[in-house]
Structure 1
Amino acid sequence: MYVRKLVITLLYFFVGECFAQKPPLSNLFVQVSQKDERYLALSDGSTFIPIGANICFPRLISKEAEVLRYYNHYFQQLAANGGNFTRIWLSVPLFEVENKEAGSYDVQQAERIDKVLALAKKYNIRVKFCLEHFRKITNSPAPFPSSVPFDRPVYAADIATMEDFFLTEKGKKRYLERVDFFAKRYGNNPTVFGWELWNEVNAVNVKEKEILLKWTQEMLMEVKKRLPRQLVMQTLGSFDSESSSELYRTYSQLPQNQLAQAHRYLDTGATLAICQAPMDELGSDAVRTLKRFSPEKPVILSEVGGVEPHHAGPLKLYEKDTVGTLIHDILFAPFFAGAAAPGQSWHWDYYLEKNKLWWHFGRFVEAVKGFDPIAEKSESFYETLSNQLKMYGLRGAKTTLLWLRDGAATWKTELAEGQPARTVSGQLLQNPMKNARKVSFYDPWKNRWTKGKVSANGTIDLPDFRRSLIVKLEK
């Protein structure tokens, strides 16, 4: 018994010490930081960095016991690696409370949501609920077996079109009564991170998209009235075209939209060239763009991954990415570009779970351990170095963190062409932080810290590494 307790204690020490943040007290809500509006904090003022993936709905299962086993497994994997956040769609058949008749709510379905939230609390995971996702009233069933339907036939009896739903008092009443049901049940639950009005609202089938903007402006205010203690936000479809740029500018600048979020995918069918770029560039570009649009808000890359051309299914190259080169960039690039969180992967099942890549979350947590972007008043910066190296940095008052990424190793070279990542050796770095007295390196691929030093001429000898390296500079 003594040996067993000792083993458990040691495991807690070695795993727990890698956490960037202590498990939050259960009575604290997530909010925009009052000290630095670019980041998030708990209601006691402590910095909160949401680290996790979309685990929006289980696929191909329907029984409650299976659903709870599913979420227990995923939450366990995420929490064991320092994760503290996920996103769940409330409008899928497994969780939809308005499933039989418009205006009538299924308490058994709500109790299922209660149980999933209880599991999230058990693992110290905050949940962002997405309220709706349908795009037509009828005739939009699940496009493939593991997907979800994109219609709401329960409304067809008294709402004929999507325009009716968004424009008429009857349609708005339907939406807000459903919000009221959730608000009464979860409005005082701090496990709930916040509420998204609609998944990718611009993809809804209406003739005039201006309808969606006006509805969003109204509903952001109405939903916040009902859920004042939790964050409220809206989302748009993949940021993959010039036309979507102006949409993102408009929606991210809405005063009532508390987070500036982006969805972006590696997609060779997209019209924006950046969507075929290396994953680190694809993700960091989305963050920098939103930061230009809304410098006063937290920016989060809230859906990111890889798809076949024009979103025709998950990226086939996922099968080759058994070491997780893509998820590594998905996590690191957004945060080091100044986002309030690491990127939040979409393909939680086809990619993360299938390739057993949850350990990458722990490597991100270890890399940023002890670095508080709010206390440091951090500013992001980017430079291209010699030998195809890219330097992403967060410059702080006392500490500067660098993420060095080898531009010679990309999804094209490693996954499409099968070229192994090279070893970067003999590289010198000019110290980007004045008066830095302490230098350390973290290799996220080996999970190893080493010490370094700044030479008299201000250069730093980098250790050998493959793909990427963290450099921590301290005064």
Structure 2
Amino acid sequence: MIFPRAIRRLESLKTPFLACLLIAAFADGAVAGDKGSQSFVRVSATDPRYFEMSDGRAYVPIGLNMIAPPGQQAWPVMKDWMEKLSAQGGNFIRVWLGNPYFDVEHSRCGEYDTAKAQRIDELLATAATLGIKVKMCMEHFRHLGEGRQAWAAKPLHLVQNGGTATNIADFFNGEKSRAQFKKKLAWYQNRFGNHSQVFGWELWNEINAVSGGDYMAWTEAMLPELHRLFPSNLCMQSLGSFDTDRVRANYRRLALMKGNDVAQVHRYLDLGASLEVCKGPVDVLAADAVREMLAAKPGKPVLLAESGAVEPRHSGPFKLYAKDTNGVILHDVLFAPFFAGAAGPGHIWHWDAYVAKNNLWWHFGRFAEAIRDMVPASEHFEPAFLQTESFRIYGLKGKRMVVLWIRDIPSDWRAELEQGRPAELISGKGIELANWWDKAQPVKARIYDPWQNKWSDAAADDGMVKLPPFRRSLVVRLLPQ
């Protein structure tokens, strides 16, 4: 690794281009566990579509949503989940600070519970020992008591309960409520400010799900304050599932919004969705969500920040999760976004009812292995896509290497989970080099089977790379000899 003192010296050079080259030359590959590090996550100075650590090393957020323990006395369960993730090379989780387990503002507007704050201390301390960065989602409520979802209510903000708002619209539009929320941000800063274990601060979960108010203007007002208070951390906002054309305009507005450091997108397999893409193969819907964000040209990292599968119109976890003991859905959520041009794998939502229940933690290790030693920002990857009769091939063309994720078309969730057809063994196939390798140097191929956790070399003869027998998917690295 390159040492922080050396990084500071390089950054002080009067020739920024030379400094970037030197940093890239010494930087480690994609960071997995980073135990004990005091470095912050930031947008890469080399390529703003990716992340890096403040000491110059690459950072790819490998993890999932892990909102809170499953009960007030269940911290050991969440700690066990974090340990299992870390053991597989995971380095990222997202939590909800508004969940009852962590919620510091649960009795009265503007009063903060230090006992709950100590739970957040414990979370961050555990994350530090395990090399996990934590995205801190600050709020998730959608109404002030008038809605049907009890978990989404926060009536303490009403004037009659000692709060500042007459209704949810007044919470977002009213000056008193905005001033009070800024005081809450300041309290968090005083309690947890400049914490290197924080991946970033997220203002709200799916803010367009609230029942009133100009939440986009509110976001534009709060992001600068968030940056002022947390200058060393990333700051961001999120919207609900991209499952209808109606959300496209707000998604693009948020992707381009000043101060929103990450262009996040949420999307699920949902047979009740308006968009047809949300009803098909998971790799297709995940990659399409990333392309929607990239099409806005945000000039910042893109992440599929929530994904998975749900019953129609988000009425519950996908019933076919019970059959997905091989983790077919999780695999596609992880791999498709990164190979479509995102700054990391997709982050699955159902950490408890799917990942933990089916013991699928090993999938995070397979993704970490697939990108081992890669420095995406230094490669300046450009995504490419090719569909053949048998495969969907998602490619990243870099300065030195080309990396492909090859997904078998027939073995999707419908075939394996709905129809009960096991993934077929594919043999005797290859890929044409002319579609992917345009460099002058001769090429060699390294192939990783994420289902077998096995690397192999492949011959590149007569313009073809011969693929070993496999099921579902392979990762192919094309490198100069």
TM-score normalised to structure 1 length: 0.91
Unpaired stretches in structure 2, ≥5 consecutive residues: 1-27
For residues 73-472 of structure 1, the aligned pairs below 5 Å read 73-140=80-147, 149-156=151-158, 157=161, 158=163, 159-206=165-212, 211-385=214-388, 387-431=389-433, 432-433=436-437, 434=439, 435-455=441-461, 457-472=462-477
Does the Cα contact within 8 Å between 1:71 and 1:116 map onto a contact in 2?
Answer: no
- Deviations along 1:17-43, one digit per CA (max 9) or x if unpaired, are 998546265211111111110001111
Paired residue secondary structure (1:374): helix
Question: Does the C-alpha gap of structure 1 residues 18 and 464 become closer, same or farther in structure 2, counting only changes over 3 Å?
Answer: farther
**Alpha-carbon shift at residue 337 of structure 1 (Å):** 0.4
Q: Secondary structure at the match of 2:225?
A: helix
Q: Please state how far the C-alpha of 1:294 moved relative to its aligned partner.
A: 2.9
The question of 1:27 aligning with 2:38 is answered yes
SS in 1 for 2:379: coil
Superimposed CA distance per residue, residues 371-393 of structure 1 (whole angstroms, 9 cap, x where no aligned partner): 111111111111012x3211111
Find the aligned partners of 2:133 and 2:447 in 1 and give their Cα distance. 31
Which string of whole-angstrom CA distances, capped at 9 and with x for unpartnered residues, describes residues 285-331 of structure 1?
A: 00011011134110000000000000000000100100011100000
Distance 1:436 1:261, change over 3 A: farther
| Partner residue in 1 for 2:17 | none
Using the aligned pairs only, state the percent identity. Answer: 43
Q: Distance in 2 between matches of 1:52 and 1:284?
A: 18
Q: Flag as ranges the 4+ runs of structure 1 deviating above 6 A.
A: none
Could you tell me which amino acid in structure 1 is paired with residue 478 of structure 2?
L
In the alignment, residue 127 of structure 2 is paired with which amino acid? Answer: A
Q: What amino acid is aligned across from residue 469 of structure 2 in structure 1?
A: D
Aligned partners of 1:125, 1:336: CA distance in 2, in Å?
23
Change (3 A) 1:79 1:377: same
CA distance in structure 2 between the aligned counterparts of 1:90 and 1:78, rounded to whole angstroms: 20
> Cα offset for 1:186?
1.4
Which residue matches 1:62?
72
What corresponds to 2:11 in structure 1? none
Equivalent residues of 2:36, 2:128 under 8 A apart: no
Any idea what the Cα deviations from partners look like across 1:190-247, whole Å, max 9, x if unmatched?
Answer: 00111111110001001x5xx1111110111111111111011000000000101111
Q: Give the SS at the match of 2:478.
A: strand
Q: Structure 2 residue aligned with 1:49, among 49, 60, 75?
A: 60
Q: Secondary structure at the match of 1:460?
A: strand
Per-residue Cα deviation, 1:65-97 (whole angstroms, up to 9, x for no partner): x32x12210110100000000001001111111
Checking the alignment, whether the CA contact within 8 Å between 2:193 and 2:230 is kept in structure 1 is: yes
RMSD of equivalent CA atoms: 1.6
C-alpha separation in 1, matches of 2:285 and 2:417: 16
3-state SS, counterpart of residue 471 of structure 1: strand
Confirm or deny: 8 A CA contact 1:260 1:294 kept in the other structure: no
User: Is 50-59 or 153-162 further displaced after alignment?
Assistant: 153-162
- Shift in CA distance, 320/164, structure 1 to aligned 2, threshold 3 Å: same
The alignment covers a number of residue pairs equal to 445
**How far 1:100 sits from its partner (Å)?**
1.6
Mark the runs of 5 or more structure 1 residues left unpaired by the alignment.
1-16, 144-148
Q: What displacement does 1:458 show?
A: 1.3
- SS in structure 2 opposite 1:197? strand
Contact 2:32 2:91 in 1 (8 A): no
Q: Which amino acid aligns with 1:190?
A: S
Cα contact 1:19–1:362 (8 A) shared by 2: no
2:10 corresponding residue in structure 1: none
**Residue 187 of structure 1, CA deviation:** 1.4
After superposition, the Cα gap between the structure-2 partners of 1:293 and 1:390, relative to the gap in structure 1 and judged at 3 Å, is: same
AA at the equivalent of 2:68: F
- For 1:25 and 1:399, the matched residues in 2 are separated by 31
Give deviations 1:80-125, integer Å, cap 9, x for gaps.
0000000010011111111222111111110111011111111010
- Superposed CA offset, 1:404-441 (max 9, x none): 00011111111111111111111121112133432111
Q: Give the partner amino acid of 1:178.
A: K
How many angstroms apart in 2 are the aligned matches of 1:187 and 1:464? 51
8 Å contact 1:371–1:399 — kept in the other structure?
A: no
- SS of the counterpart of 2:308? strand
For the residues of structure 1 that align with 2:102 and 2:32, how far apart are their CA atoms? 30
